[in-house]
Each structure stands twice: as C-alpha cells, then as structure tokens.
Chain A
Amino acid sequence: MRKGVFLSTRRFLILVPLVLSLLLLQSYFWVPTYDEQARGNPGRLEEYINASIGDASILNPILSADSASSEIESQVFDGLIDRDENLHFRGRVAQSWEVTEEAFFFVNDAARVPGALGSEPESVLRHLEQKRNDPAALSAPVQKSLQNIRALTLLPPRNYTVTRPRPGSDAKAAAEIRLEVAAPARIKLVLREVDQDLFTHLAEILGADYFTTFQAARHITAAPAVSETDLAALTEALLPAIEQNPVIEFRLRPGVRFHDGRAVGAADVRFTYEAIMDPRNLSPRVADYEPVKEIHILDPLTLRIVYKRLYSPAIGTWAMGILPRHLLNAEALKQEAVRSGKDPAAFSMRQSAFNRAPVGCGPFVFKEWKSDQAIFLDRFEDYWEGPVNYKTYAYRIIPDLLTQEMEFYAGTIDSYGVQPYQVERLAGDPRFQSFSGTSYSYAYIGYNLRRKPFDDPRVRRALAMAIDVNKIIRFVLYNQGERTTGPFLRQTDFYNDAVAPVPFDPQGALRLLAEAGWQPDAEGRLAKNGQRLQFTLISNSGNDIRKSILAITQDAWKQIGIDVRTDLLEWSVFIQERVNKLDFDALVLGWSMGIDPDLYQIWHSSQTGPHQLNFGGYRNPEADDLIIKIRQEYNHDRLVDYCHQLHALIARDQPYTFLYVPKWTAVLDKRIVIRDADAEGRSRYRRITPTKTGNHMFYFNQWIKLAEMPQFSN
C-alpha cells in the first residue's frame, strides 16, 4: 500500500509537467493562421493595424513632440488646414481663408517729404494717395506695392500712460517706470496681400530716411528718468516707426463636430492658441505661435489672426489639431482636479486625463490605449467629410524590427516601416503591393567650422569629394535613398535641381587639399607645417545606418591620407556633452524637416551659440539675408526664388557634406484598395496609387481591405 503512494509521487512529478506542456501546446490549434484570420472573422477586413517601434507619449497635439504621438493625433484631431497632393494648403476645419496685411507707420514730422506740401499727417497721406492714383513716374516694383494697397487711413495722435519693468532689474514690482506716451499720428495701410518690401518702396516716395529718422524717444517721457539706451529699447517696443501685421482670416466649415457632439467653433481655435501660449502647459510649440499678436472672433465661425510681424511659416502652423475648449478650459480643469483629488492651483493641462483619452474632430475617435501594446481608434460616424471606410484603426507597438516583419507575415499587422534591406525581398512578393517615396529628412556630415581645418571651404569640399555617396546609397541603403545637395526637401519646389552634387573624385580632393596646404608625407598621410590632418568623426549609437556611414567615411578618408577616428555616443550624451557644447570636429547626423522652408534656426548666424541648432557655426551674411527674406515672404514664386538662391549658396560653402534623402517604403497586402462610391452610391474599387509627392496614405480615409484580391479593369 505504502509503496503505491510513493510510486504515485513519482508519477505525479512526471505527470504534472506533461499535462502542463500539453495544455500549453494544444493552444496552437485555436490560433488563426494567416488565411483563417479574415475567413473566421470578417471584422478583420474593416480593421487597419499599423505597427510602430515606439509608443506614443502624450496624445495632445499641443504638448507632444514625438512622431508616434503625432501619428495618432493626426487621426484623432483635425487642423484648420493641411496640405493637398501637391503640398499646397487645403482647408479642413477651415473652409476658406484669406491672408492680408495691415501696415502702420508713424508720421515723422521731422522729415521732409519730397514733393509733398508739408510734413504734417494730412499732407503725407494726401501725397501717398496721389502717388497711388498716378504712379506713372515710379519704378515697376514700387507701382506694384502701391497697387497692392487697398486702403489708407489716418489714425489720430493718442496720449496714454503705461508702466514697464525697469530695464536691467529683475526684481518684480520694486522697479517700475511710468511712461507717458504721446503717440503722434499714424498712417494705416491695408494691403491686399503681404508685401515684405512695402516700406523700402514707400521710402522711395517719402524719402530714403523717412522711417529711419523717426524720433520715438521724443514722444515718451519716463518717470523716474532712465538712461538713453534703456529708453531707446523701451520706445522701440512701444512706438516702432514701422509695423507690418499680416492678418489671416479663417472662415470655419459649419457642421464640424467634436467626437462628443459639440460643434467646433472659432472659440475652440482661439482656445488652442491660448493653451499653447500658457506657460504652465510647457508646450513645445510656443515658438511657432509667438509671432501671433491677437486673435479676434468675428462670429462663431470666423476668426481673424493678427501677427506682430512678417512670418511666412505662420499659415502652416494652423495644421495644428484643434482642442475642444469645453473639455480643457480653466473651469473644466479645475473640476477635474477636484474630482481626482489634486491641488487645482497646480493642475495644468499637462496633468489632465485628456492626454490619454483625447477628444478631437478628426476621422477617428479615440477608444483605448494600452501602454506599450496598442492604441485603438474607432471611426467617427459624424466626420464632416463622411465616415471613413475602416471601422477601427489599431496602432501596435512592436519594438523589434525583425518581429515586426514576422507579424506582417502572420497577418496581424497591415503595414509597418519597412527597412531598406527588407525592401527587395518584400517588393517582389506577389501577395503585397509596395509604395516608396522620399522622406522629409536628409542625412549629412556636419563640420565644426570654428575649428581648423574645417574653416577652409576647400577642405570641406575635398572631404566631400573623397566620399562616394552613390556607393553609400547603393550598398548601405539598398538604393533606398536619393542624393541631396542642399538643405531643402527634395520633393518641394524649394529644392534647387540646378545644383550639381559634389562629384566623387579622390584625386581632385587631394588637389584641393594641396591648394589648402595639406601635402602627403612619405607614408601618404596628409600634413601641413608638420601637423597631421586628423580629427574625430562622431555620431549617436543605436542607428545602424549611421554606424555604417561612419565606417565607410573613415575608410574613404583614410584612402586619401586623413587620419580619422570615429566614436559612437549614446544619444543624450552625444547631444548634451558634444553637440550642445560645440565640442566636436565632425559628426554624422540627420535633419527631419517640415515642408515649410524656414531655415532660421539651423543656418542663421545668430543661432550659433551653445544649445542652438546651428552648431556647425555656419555664418554667411548673404545667407542670413536670404533666410530672413524667406521667413517674411508670403508669395510662393518669390519664396521659391529665394530658396533656390540660398540652396546654391549653401551648396557652394559646403558647411555640411549633404549625403542623401532616405526613401521610405510601405508594403501592404494587395487586398487593401481604395473604395469610393459612384453617383448611384455603388462601391467602386481602385488601386491605391501614390500622389505626386509619393504619399500613398493620402486617400487613407477611403481605404478598405477586401476578402479576395480584386481584379481591376483598368
């Protein structure tokens, strides 16, 4: 009897793992294979599953700064405008808009206006009116500027008092000064469209120094008195001689609703702006909206945005998702704080639960966010453009590239970021359709122009000539890249196709280096005055392509006798210890860019300090001038012209060795097609085709997956 008990101890010990393994293994038979997924569950066809490497961080368009978050936000939120197939602006929540300008200048009674009766306001105004009506004697650009003026009005003088903190003192209330302002008369010009040359042209009529000799300080008395330079700074802000205020008037589309049913109105747009500017929210987008002077709500669907100065990237910023005011205003936040038992005084939008359960007016309604696993969205049935075809949108987080591919094969994701080396294998697969386009970024080798030998443009050019970029594109990127020669996006008009890439020519490089004084020594190593040509090329770790570029350039430069060391640093060390402190010789990095051609932060000479983005230290007055002009130009053709000039200039100076623009590739199941309804309401299918700029997702709202691969007639 007892023997039996111990026999069963042994059996028990063997049986338990057996049963456990069998239980686990049999679960295989319940899991759907690739083919069974759609057959067993037709709902799968109406579900779009996208894979990403990283999770979103905060689902609030004004607070997030990462690409995963913005991808979700673009589905949940709609902005006033976006870009169409040709990258031109297109209305979304806004139905139409108009960009005009209001310009002001103070009447300068000290200046003599040639040809006018006197220098008092009325005569200046009359003089301008007269020139406008009879411009024949003026040059063509000036004529154009005058024709652009819609109205001229005279604003009477005005007296008022303001208090300002005393310049140079940081104590709060202690040091204030009262300023008595006796503002002279001002002339207001309403323009049909923005004209950055307005005042240069007006100066031809009113006298070259009419605007520069305006003595603002004469019109201000300070109490207590301050030094002249301080007063000048104060008056500059209070009474600028000239002021140009671009105005954008948006007319919103009626009937657009948030996901909770409330109508979207001008008040929501203004609220979104105010939320960005609220310092407590720490919004990373403050810089974009800082030029806004004021926003007027003309009626519930019309708003008028006035800017402090010319800033042409301004329109593009209104692609920002519109926040629902009724859920996030001070009152709502206070209630939320009380509900969750937090201190209402310290509670800001950053703490709100909204950021994990956003409500917008975009095509998809937020449903659920499982951290590091997936984000689920449902389609919005009341979407203003009509509901989209997919019922749900899932954003899966799969951190490993290889397993993303495996999941794609298993059919549980519909699309993922295909890596260059996977493209060839996947593009040839008959089950899949693939799309490819250039991305909004470029890779470069940046030099620290403050250090020798990089201060010599010949050396920079020679370094570029020694690198066979085509070889990098061919072998490292598997042809998933295109050469680029300058700082603009390849797919925009701003890119100057006339600029030729630096040729691969090691002999030429040696000649250029010899011109710059670098001669090969006995062992073939370059030296100048006994000093060997050596430096360190760094990049951040964790990026395989950059790692390869590092190895290839090191090798290429070694070939012409340059002693290059390489170093890979962890991202935050790389940025904070080396880039921000400007402590590097050369680095491999990339910029990802918006469509807007504003290059101020990356190339302007005022941005060369530590912690600024022109870390290479590029300074060129000519380029500075163009950069400012680009920032202020609202006319597309002129913009393109300035950009082409700037592109050629930077390509000539070679502060970077511009390498390539990476291409992205998307692979989709061939059963995913575009479905739209014809006149009788029947469904018609067509193949997904990319737009001219390569964007295959443009018609995403019409996509749907079919059970069988369709046969297209055309």
Chain B
Amino acid sequence: MNTENTAPAAPLEEPAAPRRTRFEEFWRLLRKNSLALAGLVVFGLFLATAVAGVFLTSGSKPVLDPSVVRLQEKLRPPLSRSDAASLKPDEIPAMGVYLFGTDDLGRDVFARMLQGAWVSLTVGFVAVGISVAIGIFMGAIAGYYGQQYVRLEQVMLAAWLLGGAALLAAGVRTLGAVVLVAGHAWLFFSISPWGVSRRKSPPPWMRIFLKGTIRVDTIIMRFVDIMLCFPSFFLILTVVALLPASIYTIMIVIGLTSWEGTARFVRAEFLSLREQDFVAAARALGVGNFRIIFRHMTPNAIAPVLVSATIGIASAILTEAGLSFLGFGVPPPHATWGNILSDGKRFIFDAPWLTFIPGAAILLVVLAFNLFGEGLRDILNPKLRQRN
C-alpha cells in the first residue's frame, strides 16, 4: 500500500548540478512530467497547424479555400471524394478529397479548421496578452508604489477631470469641454516648475492640498475588487451582446475582464521583491523607478504569470466557444473552432463530424494548454517539487 515509501531512491545530486542554466533545469523537470510534456507537444503541433493554416488558407488563390460554397457537395462525410463533374475547376478541394468532410454549405471542414486554428489561437493569445499586460502593470504599480499616498490635490484633479468627462457624456458639451480644458491646464501647470507641489516651501494654506489621502495600493486593489464583483461570463456576454460583434471586441473584452488574478499575484511578488537587496542596490545606483520595475523586478515575478497565461489561453478558447454557442462568438467570415462547433451542433444526427471534429480539437488543445500550465506550475514552484 505504502507506495511512497517504496518509491525508488532519487539519484544523488552531484555537487556540480547548480551549474545548469535555468533552461536546462526547466527542461530536466519538464521531461519528468510526462503529461506536461505531452501538453507541450500538442501545443507545438497546434502552433504549427495554426501557422500552416494561415499560409494554406489565405491569399488570393489559397491551397485550401475555406470559403468556397459548394451546395451540391453539402454534408459529405470525412474522407469522401469530391464529385469533379459537378464542380468548377477552382472549386475542387486539394487532392479532390474532403479530409474532414463538408459542412452545411459544402465548405471544406478541413480548410475551415485550419483557418479556425489561427483565429482561435489569435483570440486566445491576444486576449491573454491584454490581460497579462494590464495585470502586470496594475500589480507592479500596486506592489511597488503601494505604500505611497495620493495627494488631495491629485484626487481633486482626477475628480474634476472625471466630472468634465461625465458632463460631456451626459450631453452638456460646452461646460464639459471647458471643465476638461481647465483641468488639463492645471495639470500642466502643476507639473511645471511653478506648480504647487514643486515649491520648496508652499504656504501653509496650500499644504492641506498636499496631504496624503489614500494609498496607491488601496486604489488599485479596490479597483480589482470592483472588477471581481462582476460575474465574468455574464459581463463578457453583456458587453459582447451590446456592442457590435467583431473579433476585436471579443478579444478585448475577454482580456479586459480577466486580468485581476495576474494583478494580485504580481503585486504579492513585488511586495516581497522590493525588499530584496538587488532592488535596493539598483535604487542606490539611481536607476529610475520604471526601469527598476520593468527591467529588474518584472522578470523575477514572471513565473506565476506564465502559468496563469497558459491556462488563460485555454479558458479564452473555451469562452469563445461558449459565446459562439449563444450566438455571440467571432462573427463570419472568420472561422473559429468555437463557431464551427456551434454551427455544426444542429446537424449532430445528420453530420456528426461537424460536431465531433471541432469538439475534439478544442478538447485536445485546451487540455494540452491546461496540462502544460499545470506542469509549469509544478516546475516553477519549488515548494511543490517532489522531494524524493
């Protein structure tokens, strides 16, 4: 029963081991985690497919044209040969075979899947890219500047500008514009050498404006709290349903609604990193704040971000599929695996391949991302590393 006691003894670590680079170490650990490795392999294949898809399905005379409608060839099962007699020469699919069959308009499912791979991949990567960028930025600011206070003067300025924007939005054009212009004028004035905050000894009545009100960290983390108050799928659905459908809306919306987690743990990492010696050293050398944040600290906080980004791509692909099911996915002419699947579900009895091929493909790719992410987490988190 006690398997862990009888587990084979680990090979003795050689003293020279630490000389391995980080990448070698990573690779060594990854190879031991066969699920994660499989995930990586599938991930690689998917990438290759997507890139190949772009080349094979775009351009003016693509090898595999996903948009050719051949109504008389509709709902052909996979591997069936096309009927050359009824088609025009440029309608015949490559090699005369429908590898994955055809859909309800007689379009080649294989070509559509290839094209969809790239679009799905883009949706996943761009959405996650947006979310990671915002997350790192917010988390870094909160972690690094967290303990500083925002001055009353700044709060008032922000309120003033917001008020101006609100007036504009509410339709009071002139007043709003005046308020905004005045706000910006004050902003430039205060940054300038004559600004209040730059003076060596401001008069006492002015000091009240320089008083700290609220911590930067508090603002950002409360903002994260506000975002977390929205049920995320519901929020995405609301925005996607209300805005005109486009692939960009979907990517941006998914990205804008999923950065909170990243922000939280980047902040946590930063809180511990900023106390470390290398940061103090950089500061002592007079390195600028932003350089410290992005050049010195961020690379050290990137590990958990990578894990969540990998899993984030998986969930972005699933979210897109879910939106497609409800009719709010990426609109045509872009094919995504999500909308191929949800278009195909109507024909689940007549043409099961239209459901099962994209369904299985999504499952496989999402699974690969998840497993790879999980493996990454194990590898990057020394605490969870198996002690043999």
Contacts and interface: CB of A to CB of B under 8 A. Distances in A.
A573 B68 CA distance: 29
B245 A421 contact: no
B245 A541 contact: yes
Nearest to B241: A570
Contacts of A472: 71
B346 interface: yes
Interface stretch (A69-77, A100-108, A368-376, A544-552): A544-552
B349 to A, nearest CB: 7
A541 B241 CA distance: 11
A589 interface: no
Nearest to B326: A542
Interface in A399-426: 401-402, 419, 421, 425
A573 B350 CA distance: 34
Contacts of B68: 555
Interface stretch (B92-100, B179-187, B273-281, B327-335): B327-335
B19 to A, nearest CB: 45
A475 B71 contact: yes
Contacts of B72: 475
Contacts of B327: 541-542
Contacts of A569: 244-245
A376 to B, nearest CB: 28
B355 to A, nearest CB: 10
Contact of B350 (A421, A541, A568): A421
A133 to B, nearest CB: 69
A402 B346 contact: yes
A471 interface: yes
B151 interface: no
Nearest to A556: B69
Contact of A471 (B71, B245, B328, B345): B71
Interface residues of B, number: 25
Interface string A211-253: 0000000000000000000000000000000000000000000
A566 B332 contact: yes
Contacts of B71: 471-472, 474-476, 552
Contacts of A541: 245, 327-328, 331
B349 A425 contact: yes
Contact of A421 (B105, B328, B347): B347
Given A421-B346, A542-B327, A544-B343, A551 B332 contact: yes
Contacts of A425: 349-350
A471 B73 CA distance: 12
A213 B98 CA distance: 78
A451 to B, nearest CB: 21
Contacts of B331: 541, 567-568
B332 A548 contact: no
Contact of B244 (A421, A542, A570): A570
A99 to B, nearest CB: 47
B104 interface: yes
A476 B107 CA distance: 13
Given A419-B346, A555-B68, A573-B244, A568 B104 contact: no
A394 B221 CA distance: 52
Contacts of B349: 425
Interface string B67-86: 11101101000000000000
Given A475-B71, A570-B244, A544 B350 contact: no
A551 B346 contact: no
Interface string A489-501: 0000000000000
Interface string B241-256: 1101100000000000
B244 A566 contact: no
Given A402-B346, A476-B105, A577-B244, 10 more contacts: A402-B345, A421-B346, A474-B71, A475-B71, A475-B106, A541-B331, A547-B332, A551-B332, A569-B245, A570-B245
6 contacts: A419-B346, A425-B349, A541-B328, A544-B343, A551-B105, A570-B328
**4 nearest A-B pairs in the assembled complex, by CB-CB distance:** A475-B71, A555-B69, A542-B327, A568-B331
Interface of A: 401-402, 419, 421, 425, 471-472, 474-476, 541-542, 544, 547-548, 550-552, 555, 566-570, 573, 577
